[in-house]
Amino acid sequence: MKPLIYLADLRYNYAGVLANDCMPLGIAYMKAVMDRDLPEVDSRLFVYPEKLDAEIAAKPPDIIMLSNYMWCESLSFHFAKLAKAMNPDMLVVMGGPNIPLESSRQIAYMEAHPEIDAYVLGEGDFLAAEVVRRFLDARGNVARFGDNGMPSAIVRRSDGSLHMETIWERHKEIDEIPSPWLSGIQDEFFDGRLAPLVETNRGCPFTCTFCAQGTRWYTKVHNFDVGRMKEELLYIARRIHSVCPNMGTLRIADSNYGMFERDIEISAFLGQMQKEYRWPIYIDATTGKNRPERIIKSVEAASGALVLYQAVQSLDDNVLRNVKRQTIKLEAYRQLQVHMRGRGLRSNSDLILGLPGETLETHMSAVRKLLDAGVNQVTNFQLMLLKGSELETEEVRKEFDFRCMYRVLPKNFGVYGGKRVMDVEEIVVATDTLSFEDYVRARKHALASVAFWHDDNFLELVKFAEKCGIQRSDWLLSIVPAMEASHGKVKAFLDAFERETRGELFPSREECIDFYMRDENWEKLCRSEIGDNLMHKYQAIASFHIWPEICNLAFAVTRSLIEAKGRQSEIPGFDEFFANFHRYLLNQHAHGRTVEEILSPGQTALTYEVDRWIEEGMPLDVQAFRLPEPAEFRFVLDDEAERGLSSALSTWSSDIRGLTKMMKRIRVFWLVRTCRRAFPVPVTAGDMSRLSAMAGAGD
């Protein structure tokens, strides 16, 4: 009987919620190499913990290999313990970037986990096969395997001591790895829940200290052949078309997609796949930091499915020096914005709160600069200390006086083997330049950004404000004070967010886990009442549950800013027109608590052709767009939007957990209803009075 090898890259999959929806690329590469080079062994892949649990019990393997990322660390250790309890002679191997950078702490990490026989360091494609060879040479004896040593690994010897050997150099000729797509290895994961994950190259030329790929070991970029990439993408497109047509997402693992000339050709091929197979609808990729002309061409070639993703992290020179990011040309970002605006394409950017040297003022200054530069979406992350990154080292922690706290990773929990398991993350909530209260304040502004700015919810309103002399940064930064001064649902929304922001943090990993392990808290966690991704959760609440109130506050803020400049007097019939504009945007956005409500049309009476006014550039003289008599207008999702949104709701559901997951996996225009005139309808003076009152209401 062939030796049996289990390769597991686990995702929490509990209570109907999948925490990580990517297909397992890394372990698929490992199996592809084993299938070619070690035909005498039987290797199998696992992503779902419940399936691995059942297989270990029914058919224990000779070797189990477990991926270690920050989102599955505890889960992998849990299964390592289960495997050892099932069979102490099983070789338990772990690999992945989630291990401290310092060798002394790497040894300590292994000492804390006696269930692990070997930790493989570096890329595992060929190392995994080498582990199997050496285990077979040791005749399946775990102790002998450890005593013989293992290159590029930390191994546990028979006397309990640990031995580390130098990490292997990275493999340059990565095309020597057989394709896990064309060989059919990934076929079992086309299940409608997991999105295909590909990489066109490996490595990153930048040395950002907050990233595990920022070390010198990763600086050389190695490419997969473009012809191979096209074959793989065609295979994926055809299989999705025939097996799981509702899966519209493609994820690209490259650190800087679009920065290289070859990426334009790959994007053009993806554009061809869209025409032939209606896939991919959405491409999740981090676009490059330099080479703006190439990135623009790559984005354009993908027919709108690829969004420009400019992760600046900070715009302060001192902070950029502190994190060794000064090699990235910020001028490239400015060039990209000019081109993207001119072509009507979307762009996203990231900032990280808590980087060394960052203050609340420099962070908010970066938000302001990005908004006024025309970036469509600014995402504000908190600094997570990733094992394997330079910022996570003891030296850097002390240098910048990091104050760290722990919180559960959203949806990364479950019950396996009869035991509750969860993963937590370590984040920086204060430094020598940022207080904890400043951290909370910045988080409130991040909430305003996701609720009022992301997905272009109020793009037309902001453009109107700009025509009245208001900068978009002034508009967005006015939202938090308005929310704080409001009442009703919006104030409750803000207060609940602040409570959860403070309440999700714990001073130690153990205290965090202990809290959620209590029965009453575990039940709340399972119901998404606590422990969820707060930004995604509150964005979903704002977009679907309290959209009318969010819309009211946005218009109240805009009106206040316009009146502060005295510009309302320049617009004939301002009150009536502004009320019409309000009702138009309120109904344009799909919202509700059930699938039926979200997909259903809106309807309202208008006395202005707001849609034509928008199309013609939103002139301040609005009288030319006033109707001779009021008319009824319907707001309906077009076929593509309804199909996309309906598919997403079918995949993730309309409860708050599903909507939270869905928010980052849908295209912006799916939530936008098309305005169509229905029929003339009489509108009374009382009706118009109520319209005007709505435009001035805050909540």
Q: Note the pLDDT tens digit of each residue in 105-125.
A: 999 999 999 999 999 999 999
Question: Edge-to-edge, what's the strand order for the sheet holding 197-198?
Answer: 197-198, 249-252, 282-284
Query: Do 199 and 159 share a domain, yes or no?
Result: no
What is the structure's pLDDT at 189? Answer: 98
Q: Per-residue pLDDT for 470 more than 80?
A: yes
Q: What is the CATH number of the domain that holds 289?
A: 3.20.20.70
What is the structure's pLDDT at 308? Answer: 67
- pLDDT band of residue 617 (cuts 50, 70, 90) is very high
Q: Are strands 63-67 and 4-8 parallel, antiparallel or unpaired?
A: parallel
What is the structure's pLDDT at 135? Answer: 97
Q: Is residue 171 part of a domain?
A: no
Q: Is residue 407 part of a domain?
A: no
What CA–CA distance (Å, rounded) separates 533 from 410?
A: 5
Give the number of domains in the chain.
Answer: 3
* Contact in structure between 8 and 52 (CB atoms under 8 Å): yes
Q: Is residue 30 part of a domain?
A: yes
Amino acid present at 173: E
Query: Do 361 and 443 share a domain, yes or no?
Result: no
What is the structure's pLDDT at 413? Answer: 97
Query: Do 138 and 258 share a domain, yes or no?
Result: no
Q: Is residue 429 part of a domain?
A: no
Q: What is the CATH number of the domain that holds 112?
A: 3.40.50.280
pLDDT in tens, 280-299: 988 888 876 666 678 777 87
Q: Is residue 586 part of a domain?
A: yes
pLDDT in tens, 656-686: 888 887 887 787 789 999 999 885 545 454 5
Query: Do 293 and 351 share a domain, yes or no?
Result: yes
Q: Per-residue pLDDT for 692 more than 90?
A: no
Query: Do 221 and 145 share a domain, yes or no?
Result: no
Query: Do 488 and 627 share a domain, yes or no?
Result: yes
What is the structure's pLDDT at 299? Answer: 74
What is the structure's pLDDT at 545? Answer: 96
In which domain, by residue range, is 26 found? 4-164
Mean of pLDDT values over 412-424 = 96
Q: CA nearest 660: which of 530, 549, 498?
A: 530
Mean of pLDDT values over 635-662 = 89
Last residue of a domain, one of 383, 398, 424: 383
What is the structure's pLDDT at 204? Answer: 86
Q: Is residue 190 part of a domain?
A: no
Query: Do 353 and 462 share a domain, yes or no?
Result: no
Query: Do 455 and 574 share a domain, yes or no?
Result: yes
- Which residues have CB under 8 Å from 198's CB, separation 6+? 25, 181, 229, 232, 233, 236, 250, 251, 252, 253
Q: What is the mean pLDDT of the chain?
A: 91
CA angle centred on 543, ends 542 and 546, rounded to 5°: 50
DSSP H helices, 348-435, are 360-373, 394-399
Mean of pLDDT values over 328-348 = 64
- Between the ranges 52-61, 253-262, 527-536, where is the mean pLDDT highest? 52-61
Bridge partner list, 17: 14
Q: Is residue 396 part of a domain?
A: no
What CA–CA distance (Å, rounded) separates 162 from 111?
A: 8
Mean of pLDDT values over 82-93 = 96
For residue 520, with 0-12 CB atoms within 10 Å meaning exposed, 13-18 middle and 19 or more buried, which class applies? exposed
- pLDDT band of residue 50 (cuts 50, 70, 90) is very high
Q: Is residue 277 part of a domain?
A: yes
Query: Do 566 and 622 share a domain, yes or no?
Result: yes
What is the structure's pLDDT at 306? Answer: 76
Percent of the chain residues past pLDDT 70, beyond the cut: 92
Q: Give the number of other CB atoms < 10 A from CB of residue 39.
A: 9
Query: Do 107 and 151 share a domain, yes or no?
Result: yes
Dig out the tokens for 647 from the structure: 């598919």
pTM: 0.87
What CA–CA distance (Å, rounded) separates 171 from 123?
A: 8
Mean of pLDDT values over 56-62 = 95
Q: At 120, is the secondary structure helix, strand, or coil?
A: strand
Query: Do 350 and 479 share a domain, yes or no?
Result: no
Last residue of a domain, one of 120, 149, 164: 164
Query: Do 615 and 510 share a domain, yes or no?
Result: yes
User: Can you state the angle between helices 261-277 and 226-243, rounded to 10 degrees?
Assistant: 20
Last residue of a domain, one of 348, 383, 418: 383
Residue with tokens 């606590």: 530
Mean of pLDDT values over 476-495 = 96
